[in-house]
Amino acid sequence: MGADDVRRVAEALASARSIVVASHVDPDGDAIGSTLALWHALQTTGATVLPVLARGTTPPATYAFLPGSSAYRQAGAVPPPDVFIALDTPNLARLGEAAELARAASFLVFIDHHPDGDDVGHVRIIDTAAAAVGEMLFDIIPALGLSVDKAVATCLFTAVMTDTGRFSYGNTSPRSLEIAADLVRHGADPSAIFRAVYESRSPGALRLIGRTLSRITLAAGGAIAYSWVTDDDLAETGALPEETENLVDQVRALGGADIVFLVKESAEGQRVSLRAKGAADVGSVARRFGGGGHAAAAGFTFSGDRAALLDVLVPALAEVLP
Ligand code: AMP
Ligand code: MN
Ligand code: MN
């Protein structure tokens, strides 16, 4: 984090009358947690501050427990702000319906940890070593002269917990754990947050996990494993689209698999979630298919059918196996 970048953001915030905070489409715990943390922290600035969704009308029910989740607005219902802060996305495309607001803002800031950014924005604070944007905000919020209270700590803990896979993926650093400890000191309740995110699923979501597990398919001698769910599965189990967020984690439980993926098939096409458990760079593969993400967690959307996707994706992944 450059001191000069933070100073420029602080200056923009000091004169702002309206501030929008937003993150990527299909938001995860880092997207929602970071957005609401910064939204809370900015309340003391005196500006009108709004968290804005990149798509849809409400944030995922999983994160409705977070303080401030009912403050979310649809992008179309908000006028262009003085300052727009984009979190957990490296570009405008991932901002969905909020991209137009970002473009129209007087001052545009990106705070992100993805490796595949373009150079849009007046200030870009990018740290690809951070496991979550929530980690970055733990430093940036105080550097902006704002404070980390219990609500902010709860949101940031959720962000770091989810992006590190409950402090277990390869991105979990000593810093991740130190920040988590500090957030608990600031009032975050790990077991309450854990229960809300991972043990408050609907019956439909669990039935969908059952379907996902029952379809696990191996390739490359077991080094690649995948599964899929369709819109029909959602309708038949009663699971919501947003309840597919962590479904790919079910596949990664398989021993011997270095790369796993989940295909979510809908009328819009095949949304693919790629995960590398070890050294493989699945982000490079996602970019070849027009998507993006990190080395260990990436995604893209494919417009053909599932068989056509598997024909090209499995060999492409086999090439990057460790
Ligand atoms: P997901 O599989 O949706 O949880 O996404 C895993 C990672 O890949 C996240 O960092 C996403 O921001 C990124 N990602 C997923 N889909 C896309 C996409 N279509 N374009 C760019 N990045 C993506
Ligand atoms: Mn994210
Ligand atoms: Mn993230």
Q: What is the pLDDT of residues 158-189, one digit of tens each?
A: 999 999 999 999 999 999 999 999 999 999 99
- Amino acid 71: pLDDT: 98
Is there a contact between 265 and 249 (Cβ–Cβ < 8 Å)? Answer: no
Extended beta strands in 46-188, E state: 48-53, 73-74, 83-87, 107-112, 123-126
* Ligand with smallest separation from the Cα of 90: 1
Distance CA 94, CA 305 (A): 23
Q: Which of 176, 267, 258, 248 lies closest to 218 in space, CA to CA?
A: 258
Distance CA 258, CA 21 (A): 36
Residue of the nearest CA to atom 4 in ligand 1?
273
Is there a contact between 57 and 36 (Cβ–Cβ < 8 Å)? Answer: no
3-class SS at 190? Answer: helix
Ramachandran quadrant class, 221 (left: phi over 0; alpha: psi -120 to 50; beta: rest): left
* Ligand with smallest separation from the Cα of 116: 1
- Amino acid 174: pLDDT: 98
Q: Which of 246, 235, 134 lies closest to 200 in space, CA to CA?
A: 246
- Amino acid 257: pLDDT: 98
Distance CA 283, CA 292 (A): 6
Neighbours of 290 (CB within 10 A): 10
Is 282 near ligand 1, meaning CB less than 6 Å away? no
- Amino acid 116: pLDDT: 87
Distance CA 107, CA 13 (A): 9
Domains, the chain? 3-198 (3.90.1640.10), 203-319 (3.10.310.30)
Is 292 near ligand 1, meaning CB less than 6 Å away? yes
Q: Which two tokens stand for residue 122?
A: 């007046």
Distance CA 32, CA 67 (A): 11
Question: What is the value of pTM for the model shown?
Answer: 0.97
Q: Which of 140, 128, 137 lies closest to 173 in space, CA to CA?
A: 128
Ranges of residues in the chain whose predicted pLDDT is under 50: none
Burial 198-220 (b: 16+ CB within 10 A, else e): eeebeebbebbbebbeeebeebe
* Ligand 3 centroid – CA 248 distance (Å): 16
- Amino acid 133: pLDDT: 98
- Could you identify the atom of ligand 1 that is nearest to the CA of residue 88? 12
Distance CA 26, CA 271 (A): 11
- Amino acid 3: pLDDT: 86
Residue of the nearest CA to atom 12 in ligand 1?
293
Distance CA 156, CA 41 (A): 11
Q: Which of 235, 239, 236 lies closest to 209 in space, CA to CA?
A: 239
pLDDT single digits (tens) 91-130? 999 999 999 999 999 999 999 999 988 899 999 999 999 9
- Amino acid 140: pLDDT: 98
Element (H, E) at 246: none
